[in-house]
Amino acid sequence: MSTITNLTRMWLTRSIKPFIFTNEFDEQLSFAECRNLGLYVHIPFCSSICNFCPYCKIVYSKEACDRYIDALIKEVHMAGRQIKSRKAVTSLYFGGGTPALAAGRIKEIIEAIQKHFMITEGIGVELHPDNVNVPLLQTLKDAGVTKISIGIQSFGEKHQAVLGRKNVDISAIKNALKAVSFETVSMDFIFALPGQTFEDLKSDIDTAFANGANHIAIYPFIDFTFTESPVRTMAKREKRKLLDDITDYCLGKGYIRDSIWTFSKGENVRYSSMTRDNFLGFGCSATTLLQEQFKINTFSVEEYCGRIDKGLLSTSLTIRFTLRQRMVYYLFWTAYSTKVDPADFEEFFKVPLKKMYGFEFWIAKCLGFLREEKGVYHMTLKGAFYYHYYENFYTLSYIDKMWGLMQKEAFPSGMEL
């Protein structure tokens, strides 16, 4: 698996140099001039832990959560003090964990952020289905939240049981969503679970859109090596058929594909913290992507609070990109949105895409992975499947390795990918 990602990396970065992460880091971050900057806040608490989940999370306690939020607000001010005036940012996303467990303090966090940043495209929060009730939704709305994403996983009893989750009360969710509205209501599903059929997924999609969602995300199940999930992934051919069938079904219904795994019912309905040119992440395990570097904070809640208490950032690993590495990173995440606009690339890197990767885009077009329309590259169905397939390698060779290490060590001495 890593052979495929290594060879691709060498080809596209035109170098045998791996991605090198070290434990030295900058206390001053160069985000003042970044265009299209997004913000992310990680809240790592959950009521109970799901064994398939790779994210940085621990079991909730009020005391630990309050101490963490105090540190988080301090971290926001530490970063905010590095810029002279309030900076415009695209969006703010809260992820987890289960951010709603800190719902009473979300407003305080947003206010701290708004002291330093102007959010122009809305605020999103990830929710567990148990969180979807009127008082909680109202608290979030009053705090300024405009988008929510609910981790349904499946409406089918059988598949919830496979994942060790309990059934979702869809009528309670529907009623709560009717009482408190949001610009985007997304629902998350997992596909390629053992025995899952197109009929199962079709029913999930229809149920979501009929009960208050205007956006859905259907993620392929990933069996991370460091989780204890007994669930195994589906064979490639079966998975491809499912992804193609889901895509055909959603496009046939007129839904808009706004990324490989997401579909929406309206033009301005979006929920994605991933497709940003640059982003700043706050909290444990949060990542930050800037023009010349990518960094990841410690996964240890305790060590995170300890560092911030001392007035230090909690950065654990940093990679300083070569230009080609940054271009590959940019293209990988831009392609996730299923289209690449050469004009955006040129604006970001001040060099034409054709000059840097003209040959690769030509090959991708000849192989039927892309089509060009008014100068913009759009992924075909075939291209989307292969992107998805490659993303699986990327997740298992890079993310799995990095997160696996970070779960074991708060501040590793470094790593190479």
- Which residues would be at the binding site for ligand SF4 (CB under 6 A)? 46, 49-50, 53, 55, 57, 96-98, 128, 151
Which residues, 64 to 93, sit near ligand SAM by CB under 6 A? none
When asked if residue 219 is in the footprint of ligand SAM (CB under 6 A), the reply is yes
Question: Around 283, how many Cα atoms within 13 Å sit in the side-chain half-sphere?
Answer: 24
Rounded CA separation 296/219 (Å): 23
**What's the CA gap between 367 and 326, in Å, rounded?**
25
- Least gap, CB of 42 to ligand SF4 (angstroms): 10
- 53 belongs to the binding site for ligand SAM (CB under 6 A): yes
* Range list of β-strands (E), 25-122: 37-43, 45-46, 58-59, 87-89, 92-96, 117-119
Residue nearest ligand SF4 by beta-carbon distance = 53
Contact between 46 and 64 under an 8 Å Cβ cutoff? The reply is: no
CB of 127 or CB of 317, closer to ligand SF4: 127
- 329 binds ligand SAM, rule: CB under 6 A: no
Beta partners for 125?
Answer: 94, 148
Size of the site for ligand SAM (CB under 6 A): 17
Q: Which does 222 bind (CB under 5 to 8 A by kind): ligand SAM, ligand SF4, none?
A: ligand SAM
Q: Give the span between the Cα atoms of 42 and 54, in whole angstroms.
A: 14
| Among the listed residues 124, 137, 128, the one whose alpha carbon sits nearest the alpha carbon of residue 50 | 128
Query: Does the footprint of ligand SAM cover residue 283 (CB under 6 A)?
Result: no
d(CA 146, CA 125): 8
- Please identify, using beta-carbon distances, which residue of 75 and 391 lies nearer to ligand SAM: 391
* Candidate list 13, 90, 91, 98; residue touching ligand SAM; CB under 6 A: 98
Of residues 97 and 383, the one with the C-beta less far from ligand SAM: 97
Residue among 93, 221, 271, 377 that touches ligand SAM (CB under 6 A): 221
**Residue 173 Cα distances to 34, 135, 200, angstroms:** 39, 12, 20
The option from ligand SF4, ligand SAM, none interacting with 221 (CB < 5 to 8 A, set by class) reads: ligand SAM
DSSP 265: S
Considering CB distances under 5 to 8 angstroms, the limit depending on partner class, which of ligand SF4, ligand SAM, none binds residue 49?
A: ligand SF4
Report CA Rg, the chain.
21
- Binding site residues, ligand SAM, CB under 6 A: 52-55, 95-96, 98, 126, 128, 151, 153, 188, 190, 219, 221-222, 224
